Structure 1
Amino acid sequence: MDNVGMTARRRGSAPRAIFFGVSSLLFAASVWATYVWRSSMAAMAGTPMPGGWTMPALWAPTCGRTWLDAAVPFAGMWNVMMIAMMLPSVAPVLWRYFEAVADGCSIRAGAMTALAGAGYFLVWLVVGLLVFAARTQFAAIAVQAPSLAHTAPAMAGVVVAIAGTLQFTAWKGRWLAACGMLPSCGHAGVGVRAAARQGARLGRHCLYCCGNLMAALLAAGVMDRPAMALVTIAITAERLAPASFSGRVARGIGVAAIMVGVVMVVRTVTA
């Protein structure tokens, strides 16, 4: 009986090892691709702007390039970046979904989990397209309005400080508790639509929960590697922390963000 039990446990642990092994490889590949993309963008000369900052070539208007020409590659790399940032915190949730739909068939459960993951990152893809539209429009206006460009660094600091303040709200606590929830065993929907719908629901919850931190990253600079790393660590820490401790983690992140935002504003005003 002991040998049978050990064999069953080994078989049960195999899908888990495969799932997190594949997730780790996907995470490593997305980090590498993001690094290469950011390095290539950093090598491109930006546009010096009033206020002492430089507009990255990613957002700068370019003659002969249509909106679609620029949006398609950005959308692809945005989703790669989102995989690098969000996979560490969403992988455990997707594993719970895998367990909920397994029902003795790992291949089918793997396909359903992949669809749920696709639904999750589709939400972030839509967000990326909206971000691209907003940032390129702001860039076009800033080029024509030096007074607006001059205030951009201070505005970025204000956005970071507001993002930190939201960490203390009941709204943040509610969505932080909800964004990791997917159906438990026996309550998960089966089928392509159900899997995609569950992933999209999880993505929407995470957007509500992490949207303020993503806004802080966009304000600080989406091309800034340290900022991206810090926001990734913050999102992962507050979501993976025990429920009794996650509120304190979120508030600690809020204090840090407020301090960074204030420093950004002060530095701009005194420059």
Structure 2
Amino acid sequence: MGNAGAAEGAQAQRSMVSGRAFLGTSALLFLACTAVTIAWSASMSAMGAMPMPGGWTMSMAWMRMCGQTWPGVAASFLGMWVVMMAAMMLPSLMPMLWHYRQAVGTTGRTHLGWLTALVGVGYLFVWAVLGIATFALGAALAALEMRLPALARAVPVVAGAVVLSAGALQFTAWKAHHLACCREMPGHGCGRRGDAGAARGNGLQFGLRFGLTLGLHCVCSCAGLMAILLVIGVMDLRAMAAVTAAITVERLAPSGECAARAIGAVIIGAGLILIALA
């Protein structure tokens, strides 16, 4: 009886230490990614922007500088994108990872840190794939806008329309579904077979699949908000902070759907103002 109590006490102590290590590592990762993102943004700002017809400026993130190759530009953008996504998503992702650790811990598995890291890798992989598509589309549009002045002049109105559409998206059932899946705890549906029983079978496969699925739901849920970031300025720190706050509130508020709709109403108002100013 005494040995059993001692074993349980030791296990609780190890769990506490592991939990503190997780929180500390997550906080350091967030601070590091935030610092790198701020430095990258300052570097891009120092490079300036290209004035375009219609009274707006184009970010140099979509352009190839002297001596650069397109693969090099794409790799630089992808690195910046992944770091930026880590900084923006960690505030809302950390609670989910914490619950994942708890769910897997009930199966008696060890190496929870590595399994949790694998979830994060799968999650960021989805965002990296989106980053590749984003760069390809952004670079193609930038090239067209430089060649077609009429298209460039229409950009301010189009940007306002994108913001307006993103606000309307906040009220859709599609948004509500993916947001609900982002808020679900491990093992509670939304197409994620991430229950404790599955974790007993293959912990690595379970963690990677959970991270990929969570990432897909997150990308879909954040589609409108990320579209706003892209049209306002992908390296604009104020826009990043606003989008990060909106995503975090949606995920962590007691009623995510109500929060999403309130955010949508604000976005629609901003979209109307942008169209009027354009």
- Per the normalisation by structure 2, the TM-score is 0.89
Q: Secondary structure at the match of 1:55?
A: strand
Q: Output one character per residue of 1:96-116: Cα deviation in whole Å (capped at 9) or x when no partner.
A: 22222234454x221111111
> CA shift at 1:193, angstroms?
3.0
**Aligned: 1:185 with 2:196:** yes
> How much does 1:10 deviate?
4.6
Tell whether the 8 Å contact from 2:121 to 2:211 is kept in structure 1 after alignment.
yes
Question: Which shifted more, 142-151 or 66-75?
Answer: 66-75
8 Å CA contact retained: 1:157, 1:220: no
Residue 258 of structure 1 pairs with residue 261 of structure 2: no
Q: Does 1:110 align with 2:113?
A: yes
What does the per-residue CA deviation read over 1:16-50, in whole Å, with 9 as the maximum and x for residues that have no partner?
22111111110000000000000000000221100
Cα distance per residue 1:236-257 (max 9 Å; x no partner): 1001112xx2121111100111
User: 5+ residue gaps in structure 1?
Assistant: none
**Is 1:230 aligned to residue 242 of structure 2?**
yes
Question: Which amino acid in structure 2 is aligned with residue 219 of structure 1?
Answer: V
**2:139 & 2:150 partners in 1: Cα distance?**
18
- What do you get for the CA RMSD once the two structures are aligned? 2.0
Contact map agreement 2:250 2:259 (CA 8 A) in 1: yes
Mapped contact 1:97–1:184 kept (Cα < 8 A):
no
Give SS of 1:47's match: strand
Question: Per-residue deviation at 1:6?
Answer: 7.5
The yes-or-no answer on 1:155 pairing with 2:158 is: yes
Amino acid at match of 2:208: A
CA–CA separation in structure 2 for the residues paired with 1:199 and 1:234: 22
Normalising by structure 1, we get a TM-score of: 0.91
Unpaired segments of 5 or more residues in structure 2?
A: 187-193
- 1:116 & 1:52 partners in 2: Cα distance? 44
Contact 1:158 1:265 in 2 (8 A): yes
Contact 1:100–1:186 at 8 Å: present in 2 too? Answer: no
**Residue 61 of structure 1 contacts residue 136 of structure 1 at CA under 8 Å; is this kept in 2?**
no
Equivalence for 1:80: 83
Q: Against the structure 1 CA distance between its residues 111 and 8, is the aligned structure 2 distance closer, same or farther, given a 3 Å change threshold? A: closer
Q: CA offset at residue 7 of structure 1?
A: 6.9
Asked if the contact 2:82/2:128 (under 8 Å) is kept, the reply is: yes
Residue 151 of structure 1 aligns with an amino acid whose one-letter code is A
Cα gap change, 1:185/1:192 in structure 2, threshold over 3 Å: closer, same or farther?
closer
- SS across alignment from 1:222: coil
Aligned residue number for residue 217 of structure 2: 205
- Determine the C-alpha separation between the residues in 1 that align with 2:132 and 2:11: 46
The answer on whether the counterparts of 1:180 and 1:202 sit within 8 Å (CA) in structure 2 is no
Shift of 1:172: 1.1
Offset of residue 216 of structure 1: 1.2
Task: Note the C-alpha offset of 1:64.
Answer: 4.7
The residue aligned with 2:226 is 214
SS across alignment from 2:60: coil
Q: How far is the alpha carbon of 1:184 from its aligned partner?
A: 4.2
Conservation of the 8 A alpha-carbon contact between 2:59 and 2:233: no
